[in-house]
Amino acid sequence: MSAVFTLAGALALLQVPVLLDSFDGRLSSRWIVRLGASSLFAGALLSHIGLALITAPTVLRALHLHRFAAICDRLLLHLGVAVPSYLGWFALVLFTGSSVLWVRGVIRAVGADRSLRAGLEHLSTSSWCGYPVRIVESSVATAFGLGGRNSTIVVTTELLNRLEAEERDVVLAHEAAHLRYRDPALLRALRALELAAPRWLLLGRAIGCVRLAIERAADESASGRAPQRRKAAVIALLKATGIEAPLAPAISSVETVARRIQALRRPAPRVSASSLSVATLLVATLLGVSIGGIANWLSHGHTALALAGWCPI
């Protein structure tokens, strides 16, 4: 039963962002980001630990560490899982492949960030609300933030030419919100997770929901509750994503843009205490189920180690 609880909890955690998306309008987007990203990474970590556990006996036997392999076999039997050799090698391929892809994704994202920063060094810099702003000559209407120690807002001349003064202010406030909440680092981690996760985990929609919530949270932070400011945010989005212009990098699809505009045309959402409680309870319950399964397994694990002579009963 430990295996069932742990696996069910981990897989359910991976789909929590999709459930939280149904709280749209009743829960602030920033809370959806916090709860959704936490559950997503917790589920991915638990799934990765499970793969490592299944892989361990096969790898240890291949390394002629038979005593350690026997201990792992006993632990897995207490977990309720019997691992044949072929399943162990299959799990090893998944574990190694996902780990390599995760590291590769992070390295590529960091490398792209550094090369982009290097290309911006020669540009003149202005300042907005404490953040340096660099203007790039480009025919693409877009703006984005570079996080890290030297956070920077980058905006293209094409976007500046399209926008009025208040619209520019909203766009800069949107990017400043991303930097203030360290969204660029979270987006890089989500991209690495998307590359590393096996297709059968079906994380595409869950990751898309977190990305949408990240953009929505920045929209709400930039536009506030003033109707005129929210209208300026809608106009800026429409101008930045005109039919003749490419979509901005932060925007994943036309549907995402449509949902952001629809949300900005409504009054700013107020945090519902009941909705927040239900969402938090949902995540906490799923975490509790997974951790409870692991705790139950660890209690059996002590017995297995004792039988192997590694610790007293």
Give pLDDT tens digits for 115-164: 777 776 666 667 777 788 888 888 888 888 888 778 888 888 888 898 99
| Per-residue tokens: 307 | 């039988």
CA angle 246, 250, 253 (to 5 degrees): 65
Q: Nearest-CA neighbor of 172 among 195, 155, 196, 147?
A: 155
Residue 138's pLDDT is 83
pLDDT tens per residue across span 41-53: 888 888 777 777 7
Residue 78: its pLDDT value, please? 57
Give pLDDT tens digits for 236-247: 888 887 533 333
Q: What angle do CA 51, 53, 59 make, to 5 degrees?
A: 95
Statement: residue 189 has pLDDT above 60: yes
What's the rounded Cα separation, in Å, for the pair 48 and 53?
9
Task: Say whether pLDDT at 214 is over 90.
Answer: yes
Cβ distance 223 to 235 under 8 Å? no
* Rounded-to-integer distance, Cα 234 and Cα 184, Å: 22
Instruction: Dig out the tokens for 182 from the structure.
Output: 């360290």
Q: Is the pTM of this model over 0.85?
A: no
